[in-house]
Structure 1
Amino acid sequence: MKLWIRDRGLLLVNAALFLISFVGMVISGVLNYNEEQRAHGEPGVTLLGFFGTGDFLEATFENWESEFLQMGMYVVLTAYLFQRGSSESKLPDKHEPQDDDPRTAATERDTPWPVRHGGLLLRLYEHSLSIMFFVLFAASFLLHAVGGSEAYNEEQASHGAPGVTVFGYMATSRFWFESFQNWQSEFMVIAVMIGASVYLRERGSVESKPIAMAHRDTDT
């Protein structure tokens, strides 16, 4: 059991941090939502009822969409672009194992089955990581619009103004402000990580080059 946990520690700890943060978001979110409802003379909701509100959907998925977009773009861009000296980049003048054509690889029993099968399955599998992120981004983007439109229509109704459809909400400046304010922060962090890893180090981390390695060199 200890060996199993050790081999999956990075995933398990990050999953636990996500769950803790998610629970914290939900609890604080329902308290904030009910405070706003009372301030407008409207009834509050239970903890479970909060999951069906536009506020919950909007707050959750406008953040998730930016994370999935960030990672999907990062996966694709690192396949084609370079930053010499960064631990986040391949070397521009060296063939990397990630560029090998799997069709010429010797297959074994534990080789991923799409590689052994070939054809269209292999074609999709070659890009399955970015496909997953972009599918999750598209789903989160749509759910952000659904939740945002519900929250927007509640506000409109409280002011006696007409509501909008989901697609109508996607045409508002509010929807795009919510999206871009998250997207810009995600790409900023990635740019900082790429540039900082050229000159700064973290001993023991796979995200860092060896401490004594020259800034221009890249360990891949």
Structure 2
Amino acid sequence: MIQKGSSESRDPEAPPRDADLQAQADKAGAPAPLRWGAFARAVYSRSLGLALVVLFLASFILHWTQSARAAAQEALEHGEAATGTFAYLADPQLWFESFQNWQSEFLSTAVLVVLSIFLRQRDSPESKPVAAPHDQTGD
């Protein structure tokens, strides 16, 4: 996806920089996983996305299990039957809490992208140059 004017977006007119990873593996300073074969290149070229998926799943599972445990303990304190961990996946409270967290994350990301179109931070690698026009994408 491309957000025209955002410093966080890639330039839509720039050529693809990761077109031939096998040829780039022989360049000086190239990361070692690029030389370990096609599977290693495929995993390494998506390693950031994979790491973020693993972190998301880990945080969701931790939230789910701990929230289920707290809900079960509260139910027992009130003399009610405790809900099992898997049954808690259908509980609206879990999804209410989760969506509140996700909503704040999406909002903060959207604010950063939109503000980076119009605002600048001098000498920051995350910002476009101060004199760059608003419609310039990337740096």
Shift of 1:193: 0.8
Task: Return the match for 1:148 from 49, 62, 67.
Answer: 67
Shift of 1:106: 5.0
TM-score, normalised by the number of residues in structure 1? 0.60
TM-score, normalised by the number of residues in structure 2? 0.92
Question: 1:151 & 1:195 partners in 2: Cα distance?
Answer: 38
Q: Indicate how the Cα distance of structure 1 residues 106 and 121 shifts in structure 2: closer, same or farther if over 3 A, else same.
A: closer
Question: 2:38 & 2:25 partners in 1: Cα distance?
Answer: 16
- The one-letter code sitting in structure 1 at the alignment partner of 2:5 is G
Contact 1:114/1:125 (<8 A) preserved: yes
User: Does residue 105 of structure 2 align to residue 194 of structure 1?
Assistant: no
Question: 2:35 & 2:6 partners in 1: Cα distance?
Answer: 34
Question: 1:92 & 1:109 partners in 2: Cα distance?
Answer: 28
SS of alignment partner, residue 86 of structure 2: helix
Structure showing the higher helix proportion among its residues: 1
The one-character-per-residue Cα deviations of 1:136-174 (angstroms, maximum 9, x if unpaired) are: 211221111110111001110111111111111111000
Shift of 1:176: 0.4
User: Does residue 60 of structure 2 align to residue 174 of structure 1?
Assistant: no
Structure 1, unaligned runs of 5 or more: 1-80
Shift of 1:112: 1.5
Question: 1:106 & 1:142 partners in 2: Cα distance?
Answer: 37
Q: How many residues align?
A: 139
User: Does residue 22 of structure 2 align to residue 103 of structure 1?
Assistant: yes
Bigger CA drift: 171-180 or 87-96?
87-96
Question: 2:16 & 2:107 partners in 1: Cα distance?
Answer: 27
SS of alignment partner, residue 39 of structure 2: helix
